[in-house]
A = this chain, B = another copy of it.
């Protein structure tokens, strides 16, 4: 099936500059970008055109790290740092998800907002609860959004019912994986897939990490976790595993760093050896500037990592982050890089095109050909009506300034349509 849409097309093929096609046609075949042209060629001339006039057409936003159950806690508790924040706010909330009704209410609100803010792909932590996680997966499949979702594995360093028994954690994970395999045998190339989700080293025993590493191999599954977020956390890991040289090497030791299939959130304090390991293993970094700031974790050296060509996307990390909106997270990514530049003038700030790249193609790469409008990319897109930001009695701005203005001053109401893999997503 072939579709043609028309408007002002903007995306980033590389991070240093925008690709801009003013008033142009985008041809989509079976959900993939087939061409972008200023004039329609004979081949497509008879197709109906959906004309978005002066609106912007941009790739959908990719959120590489978030905790769906923490949706109700966004904006609460930011006078605390990581470990006390987890104990005071996060763990008590997550422990309520053994109640499926609480899970349903919160996941309904979460998915509604995720669609609203224009996120088209997301990597999602659920809680440790089997049934609530099944529910979240099925609700995401209904939503039309693309996602990796995992039940959290956590079997040490807290009291029951917060944590689970190792055996239960493995069995329930396998149950979810089997359901996922069954679904895949019925639906070709599904948009929602399972991802192994050990919470972080202090929450998972060596036995559990070993099992998860084996499961990852057996079922060829991706993995997501947290790395080097907070000095107190890093010391804790060091005390738990004094025989292993670094936090990142603990994951490596348990066979949890799979090339191109692993995401580590935060990565603020990586040593040179850890950076090399993350690069060698082609691990994706989910950069969570809002969260890193709110719970005073530190400033990730984004420019330094970009210079080393690490794989990086943006994560909202709700509810360490206070907003699901990747547009707002782009602002905070740029702002954090500017603060870093103030301290280390040799590392220049992130530009607007670089932030946009991270929010689209940078994270999208984890999903395959996602986050760009290059040929063959899956058509995930947002249609932006920025009329309300442009009433100013002055000539129209260049398209890239309009995009910058939408990023800094827009809101979800500016997004009038959302597409994932060529299909429009409904907000209902």
Contacts and interface: CB of A to CB of B under 8 A. Distances in A.
B409 A323 contact: yes
Given A78-B408, A408-B75, A105 B342 contact: no
Nearest to A348: B296
Given A298-B342, A342-B298, A76 B404 contact: yes
Contacts of A393: 72, 101-102, 105-106
Contacts of A74: 405, 408-409
B76 A401 contact: yes
Nearest to A350: B79
A324 to B, nearest CB: 9
A78 B352 contact: yes
Contacts of A93: 394
Interface stretch (A29-37, A211-219, A333-341): A333-341
Interface in A294-352: 294, 296, 298-299, 322-323, 331-332, 334-336, 338-339, 341-343, 349, 351-352
In this complex, the member of A71, A334, A336, A392 whose beta carbon has the largest number of chain B beta carbons within 10 angstroms is A392
A406 to B, nearest CB: 8
A109 interface: yes
A96 interface: yes
Contact of A293 (B72, B339, B351): B339
A188 interface: no
A2 interface: no
A250 B76 CA distance: 44
Contacts of A336: 339
A113 to B, nearest CB: 10
A294 B335 contact: yes
In this complex, the member of A93, A339, A401 whose beta carbon has the largest number of chain B beta carbons within 10 angstroms is A339
A391 B312 CA distance: 34
